[in-house]
Amino acid sequence: MLLNADVSKIASMIEADPSMADKIGVTSSLQQKTGGVHSGAWLYAITSQAKEPTLAWEFITLILSEERCRARMELVSMVPPIDSLRAEYIALNPIVNEAQLENLTFSTAWPKASCSSVLESALHLAYDEIVYDVSTPEEALANAEQEVEKNR
């Protein structure tokens, strides 16, 4: 069992071994709960001090155009920021992409905190210990807890 916030890894696993498609379950975060597995979004803005506000607006318009969003969606599986591409995005990988969109719709992002990198590092270490049979899951969890306490 794995909580995996990186849906591209799941998509890669299924692509590498199509028989995995029916063996991997994907779900979105709990509805309306803070702590969804996504941690933010890009924001494009033009400040009052911008030297070239018209050029900045042209850039924002270009990168958010349907054509550019579709290209990023198809090439790197990026969630499209425009709703008109929703159905196409889901069709690319129905199981994973629908869950990803549900997660973004129903949960409230859990912003990165100063301790996030320590927690993520400990979780990756625990995962590696389990996968490479270095520790039992119980031992890996205990090691991760110690790592977090040590680096707080």
Give the position of tokens 């996504």. Answer: 38
Distance, in Å, from the CA atom of 10 to the CA atom of 24, rounded to the nearest integer, reads 8
Tens of pLDDT, residue by residue over 74-113, are 988 888 888 899 999 999 988 788 877 877 765 555 555 5
**Where do we find the tokens 């890894």?**
9
pLDDT tens across 108-131, in order?
Answer: 555 555 566 788 888 888 888 888
- What are the CA-CA distances from residue 31 to residues 37, 39, 106, 148 (Å)? 12, 15, 5, 28
Quote the pTM value. 0.48
pLDDT value at position 89? 94
